[in-house]
Structure 1
């Protein structure tokens, strides 16, 4: 009985968390839009938020993925000192690390193309 509940909870969270995140994103955007429209209706000047450039988006993704991968790898390396089987999990940190480095490379190449 306990194993069935664990699977049910895992599947529910697998689909529920992304749906909750998408709903929260939608609600935040809707509230920001309503706030801007209300300010415009009152005659208040609303400054437009500039979109991030491709370089900035790639750099941000690179920083987040690389930092997450390094934290993941350090965590499981420390756990692996006492639990030898957990040390094998450190290798899975190479995936987000490689993605983060790829985003850094993309940011550098886009910046180079903009200056050329």
Structure 2
């Protein structure tokens, strides 16, 4: 909850700064916070780490309740997505250096 509020506040402050600059007549270019490769890498890290944590949690629960392995298997989807984002990041980096 605290992280979501912090993200909200940071974005609100950035928006307020941009609006104030536009009101003063300053030309503010519209550019993303991070380049595409960095964004893909960040999503890959978050999804992979979340999936590993989710699967590890249910693996520990499965030591007591064997049916929990079924729930742990659902972690494969975000794990695959995270790995896909890592591949995307590597391909973007390769294209930039080519």
TM-score (normalizing by structure 2): 0.73
Instruction: Report the count of equivalent residues.
Output: 90
Instruction: Answer yes or no: is 1:111 the counterpart of 2:93.
Output: yes
Instruction: Answer yes or no: is 1:68 the counterpart of 2:50.
Output: yes
Structure having the higher helix fraction is: 1
Q: Structure 1: give runs of 5+ residues left out of the alignment.
A: 1-20, 43-48
Q: Which has the higher contact order (CA 8 A, sep 6+)?
A: 2
SS of corresponding position for 1:32: helix
Of the three residues 67, 79, 84, the one matched with 2:66 is: 84
Residues 62 and 103, structure 1, Cα contact 8 Å, conserved in 2: yes
SS of corresponding position for 1:84: coil
Larger Rg: 1
Equivalent position of 1:58 in the other structure: 40
Superposition pairs for residues 31-50 of structure 1, below 5 Å?
A: 31-35=13-17, 37-38=19-20
TM-score (normalizing by structure 1): 0.63
* Structure 1 residue ranges, 4+ long, deviating more than 2 angstroms after superposition: 27-42
Q: Structure 2: give runs of 5+ residues left out of the alignment.
A: 25-30
